[in-house]
Amino acid sequence: SAVISQKPSRDICQRGTSLTIQCQVDSQVTMMFWYRQQPGQSLTLIATANQGSEATYESGFVIDKFPISRPNLTFSTLTVSNMSPEDSSIYLCSVADGVPEAFFGQGTRLTVV
């Protein structure tokens, strides 16, 4: 399976600021996704990162709040904009490439104060 690296692994941010999370994969992959895991909760899909076009967002998530880039088949970024304490979560990048199962990075633990 692909090796997925996320940066930063954790951060503490002031409310009202933005944080960009990077996801780097060691091989080209077709599908890349961003998930959120709120404290004590399971994973919820934010969006599918589409290479060369706009991301596809799930219900309840919008581009202005979570802009996503995917410039090539190995890299994507997720920005959490205008943060509030409710955005404190673990953000996870995942990839799937020709198989149904998805593989995950280590996650970015975000705390907004």
Partner 1 sequence: EDQVTQSPEALRLQEGESSSLNCSYTVSGLRGLFWYRQDPGKGPEFLFTLYSAGEEKEKERLKATLTKKESFLHITAPKPEDSATYLCAVTVSGNTGKLIFGQGTTLQVKP
Residues binding partner 1 (CB under 8 A): 1, 4, 31, 33, 41-45, 48, 92, 94-96, 99-107, 109
CB of 82 to partner 1, least distance (A): 26
CB of 112 to partner 1, least distance (A): 18
Query: Which one, of 14, 35, 39, 41, lies nearest residue 78 by Cα?
Result: 35
* DSSP secondary structure code for residue 87 in this structure: G
Q: How far is CA 65 from CA 17, 29, 41, 109, in A?
A: 11, 25, 20, 18
- Closer to partner 1 at the Cβ: 48 or 111? 48
- Closer to partner 1 at the Cβ: 1 or 18? 1
Q: How far is CA 59 from CA 6, 16, 111, in A?
A: 24, 23, 23
- Closer to partner 1 at the Cβ: 17 or 30? 30
